Amino acid sequence: MYEIVKAKKLADSIFLCDVKAERVAKHCEPGQFVIVRTDADSERIPLTICDYDPEAGTVTIVVQEIGAGTKLMANLKEGDSFHDFTGPLGLPSEFVKTPIEELKKKNIVFVAGGLGTAPVYPQVKWLHNHGIDADVIVGSKTKDLIILEEEMKAVAGNLYITTDDGSYVRKGMGTDVLKDLVQNQGKKYDLCIAIGPMIMMKFVCLLTKELGIPTIVSMNPIMVDGTGMCGACRILVDGKVKFACVDGPEFDGHLVDFDQAMKRQAQYKTQEGRAMLALEEGATHHGGCGQCG
């Protein structure tokens, strides 16, 4: 069992938990995720790692209440425990293996959409701890849904916040801020890392392609087993089949087929849709999730 040593509500339907998971915490790197089960009979839920402390043996996760499984998680309190806490899974962010002196020469900007702020935070913190201050753009629908603002301020070179409805700082999308920084304020970036809803990442990539900025995205399609066996997170990158849980979750955003990924994500939600995907994708489908007939 994995004890929750801290539980906190960040915003409406968004909760943070610090979980005692010493072996996971010891091996975490930015960009990775865990798969969590509340009890022995509950669903497996993939969650990006928001922070980790190897000395304390804790891993921080952020949960958004959107279904039965996440509702159970949201009701857990300090002192409660998760039945399973598997990880770290996936590949760490590419920059982790890049020589620090080389990274220091790069101007990096992050674009976080909504809950994407949670996985962006450990990456920005890692860079900051290595003497590299990146710019961060955080976008949200409203002021009430902005999360981790103070934590991000402490590690970002510059933090730019924008809201769809204009209820906080400025009105507009993250893409509007990025375009303004580059075209009107003379900012030059060597790398953009975008994390958030699939549609948001698609439009960030369309803009950065136009601006000539290499871009990394963290794909967040449905995952079931997290080991590449089930095929639920199958995507196309540069026309090749990849599985986000083992080949990613980070990919070159300019090579990801976002339209196919979004269509597949919607199709996977129904039994008939899963059956059709199994038929269409043949040997590349995997089908180990046991839900495709």
Query: pLDDT (tens digit, 9 = 90+) per residue, 54-92?
Result: 999 999 999 998 888 888 888 899 999 999 999 999 999
Determine, yes or no, domain membership for 249. no
The structural domain count of the chain equals 3
| Chosen domain end from 89, 106, 138 | 89
Q: Are strands 45-53 and 33-37 parallel, antiparallel or unpaired?
A: antiparallel
3-state class of 129 per DSSP? helix
3-state class of 201 per DSSP? helix
Yes or no: say if 4 and 77 are a contact pair by the CB < 8 Å rule.
Answer: yes
Determine, yes or no, domain membership for 250. no
Question: What pLDDT score does 32 carry?
Answer: 94
Q: What is the pTM of this model?
A: 0.90
Asked whether residue 108 falls in the same domain as residue 209, the answer is yes
pLDDT tops 60 at residue 290: no
Tokens of 124: 């920005």
Determine, yes or no, domain membership for 265. yes
| Chosen domain end from 73, 89, 105 | 89
pLDDT tops 70 at residue 225: no
- % of the chain exceeding 70 in pLDDT: 87
Asked whether residue 270 falls in the same domain as residue 179, the answer is no
pLDDT tops 60 at residue 277: no
Tokens of 35: 């798969």
Give residue 202's domain range: 94-218
Beta bridge partners of residue 46, listed in sequence order: 35
Reply yes or no: is the peptide bond before residue 197 cis, omega within 30 of 0.
no
Give start and end residues of each alpha helix (H) in 173-270.
174-183, 198-211, 244-247, 258-267
Cα-Cα-Cα-Cα dihedral sign, residues 124, 90, 69, 1:
negative
Asked whether residue 123 falls in the same domain as residue 211, the answer is yes
Tokens of 249: 């979750």
Distance CA 207, CA 216 (A): 13
